[in-house]
């Protein structure tokens, strides 16, 4: 593997060979969706709407700079953390099978598998439920990465197998004890009363490393309802119809059997903003054109967001996404 990370600052961190391989992989992704009659769409990277998530931080852009005039009352624009809101508006307008490869932006993310500006593949298909969404995701990953058939586990099964606890019902004290038994550093979590904080700590420290031990992609589905994001919740079971796929322990894609209820979207946005405020983060706009589109009527569908830079990194067995993108943030 050729890397140029030690060369002059004006040069690409990725070799030309890696960039050519990246181009070939993107061609194969386009072919995959075109064979299935999806249409490629383009939606705004800059919008007054943004996904309201406690842990996703969009980059704010001054509306005066965008519009070329001073208006102190104007709402800001946001670089999109994903094209989700705009793509769902297309579904509400009659689109049935759409995908997009675009740039997305998230503040304060940098590491071997993170860059504040990154490339995302996102798709939606009307009529798909969670099983159909998982099937298409598994087929794409197995095809592009030439991997064995995907192994599927519920979130509860994954925690039962690797952590030996019931993730859906375990108390915070039981989660704390599990961290201790696996020698997980819980510094900063000792006073947390949020179960999801403890679950996420165990997920990243125990479950994800275990998932990396075999070559098969691992699909984790039926996440706790408290981590539903914009997925449908089966309230009688306390789980959300959300699914994620991991390859070599790397989280590659996140999908939902999509929420359709606008009142529930408003409720979740409020809850997420309360969480953001308690974390010292800015509240994000709770009204949006997506909310209006859902009030008009969003058809039943499944959707998936996949990190393209990670996909290429895994395909080329690179150690960092810096080896497969031309100019990461330090050289942008």
Average pLDDT, the chain: 93
Confidence of residue 72 (pLDDT cuts 50, 70, 90): low
C-alpha to C-alpha distances, 199 to 145, 172, 203, 272, 332, nearest whole angstrom: 29, 9, 6, 18, 35
Q: Please measure the distance between the N-terminal and C-terminal CA atoms of the chain and give it in whole angstroms.
A: 23
Instruction: Find the CATH number of the domain harbouring 293.
Output: 3.30.930.10
211-228 pLDDT tens trace: 999 899 999 999 999 999
DSSP state string for 216-260: S-EEEEEEEGGG-TTB-EETTTTEEEEEEEEETTEEEEEEEEB--
Q: With respect to residue 3, please indicate whether it lies within any of the assigned structural domains.
A: no
- Tell me which residue range forms the domain holding 84: 16-150+219-331
Q: Are residues 318 and 243 in the same domain?
A: yes
Confidence of residue 7 (pLDDT cuts 50, 70, 90): low
pTM of the full structure: 0.93
Q: Calculate helix-pair angle for 84-92, 289-297, nearest 10 degrees.
A: 30
Distance CA 202, CA 184 (A): 8
Q: Are residues 324 and 235 in the same domain?
A: yes
Q: With respect to residue 7, please indicate whether it lies within any of the assigned structural domains.
A: no
Q: Is 1 a residue whose pLDDT tops 50?
A: no
Sign of CA dihedral 11, 14, 19, 20: positive
Answer yes or no: are the C-beta atoms of 289 and 49 closer than 8 Å. yes
Which residue matches tokens 């598998």?
113
Q: Are residues 244 and 308 in the same domain?
A: yes
Q: Are residues 132 and 163 in the same domain?
A: no
Domain C-terminal end among 178, 196, 215: 215
Q: Are residues 202 and 238 in the same domain?
A: no
Q: What percentage of the chain reaches a pLDDT higher than 70?
A: 95
Whole-number pLDDT of residue 162: 96
Q: With respect to residue 295, please indicate whether it lies within any of the assigned structural domains.
A: yes
Answer yes or no: are the C-beta atoms of 112 and 291 closer than 8 Å. no
Q: Are residues 202 and 230 in the same domain?
A: no
Q: Are residues 196 and 309 in the same domain?
A: no
Q: With respect to residue 8, please indicate whether it lies within any of the assigned structural domains.
A: no
DSSP state string for 58-127: PEEE-HHHHHTS--TTPPPEEE-S-SHHHHHHHHHTT--EEEEEEEEE-TT--BTTB-SEEEEEEEEEET
Q: With respect to residue 2, please indicate whether it lies within any of the assigned structural domains.
A: no
Q: With respect to residue 250, please indicate whether it lies within any of the assigned structural domains.
A: yes
Whole-number pLDDT of residue 62: 87
Q: Are residues 206 and 223 in the same domain?
A: no
Distance CA 233, CA 156 (A): 15
141-197 pLDDT tens trace: 999 999 999 999 999 999 999 999 999 889 999 999 999 999 999 887 767 678 999
Q: Are residues 53 and 134 in the same domain?
A: yes
Q: Are residues 201 and 303 in the same domain?
A: no
Mean pLDDT of 233-247: 96
Q: Is 124 a residue whose pLDDT tops 90?
A: yes
User: Could you tell me which residues come within 8 angstroms of residue 169 by beta carbon, excluding any fewer than 6 positions away?
Assistant: none
Whole-number pLDDT of residue 68: 74
Q: Are residues 80 and 130 in the same domain?
A: yes
Q: How many domains does the chain have?
A: 2
Answer yes or no: are the C-beta atoms of 293 and 86 closer than 8 Å. no
Q: Is 324 a residue whose pLDDT tops 50?
A: yes
Q: Are residues 258 and 146 in the same domain?
A: yes
Query: Of all helices (H) and strands (E), which one includes residue 307?
Result: strand 301-307
């Amino acid at each position: 593997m050729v890397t140029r990370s030690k060369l002059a600052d004006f040069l690409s961190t990725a070799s030309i060979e890696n960039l050519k391989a990246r181009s070939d992989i993107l061609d194969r992704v386009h072919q995959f969706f075109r064979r299935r009659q999806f249409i490629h769409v383009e939606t705004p990277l800059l919008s007054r709407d943004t996904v309201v998530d406690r842990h996703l931080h969009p980059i704010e852009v001054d509306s005066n700079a965008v519009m070329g005039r001073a208006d102190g009352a104007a709402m800001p624009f946001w670089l999109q953390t994903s094209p989700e809101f705009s793509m769902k508006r297309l579904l509400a307008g009659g689109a049935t099978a759409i995908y997009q490869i675009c740039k997305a932006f998230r503040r304060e993310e940098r590491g071997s598998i993170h860059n504040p500006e990154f490339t995302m593949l996102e798709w939606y298909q009307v009529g798909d439920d969670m099983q159909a969404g998982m099937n298409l995701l598994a087929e794409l990953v197995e095809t592009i990465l030439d991997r064995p058939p995907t192994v599927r586990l519920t979130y509860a099964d994954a925690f039962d197998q690797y952590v030996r606890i019931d993730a859906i019902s375990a108390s915070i004290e039981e989660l704390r004890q599990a961290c201790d038994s696996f020698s997980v550093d819980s510094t900063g979590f000792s006073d947390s009363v949020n179960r999801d904080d403890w679950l996420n700590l165990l997920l990243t420290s125990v479950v994800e490393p275990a998932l990396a031990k075999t070559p098969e992609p691992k699909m984790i589905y039926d996440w706790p309802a408290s981590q539903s994001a914009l997925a449908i919740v089966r309230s009688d079971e306390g789980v959300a119809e959300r699914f994620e796929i991991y390859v070599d322990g790397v989280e590659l894609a996140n999908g939902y059997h999509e929420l359709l209820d606008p009142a529930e979207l408003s409720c979740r946005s409020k809850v997420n903003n309360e969480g953001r405020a308690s974390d010292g983060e800015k509240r994000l706009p709770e009204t949006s054109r997506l909310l209006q589109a859902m009030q008009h009527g969003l058809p039943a569908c499944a959707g998936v967001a996949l990190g393209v830079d990670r996909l290429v990194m895994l395909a080329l067995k690179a150690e960092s996404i810096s080896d497969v993108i031309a100019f990461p943030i330090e050289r942008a």
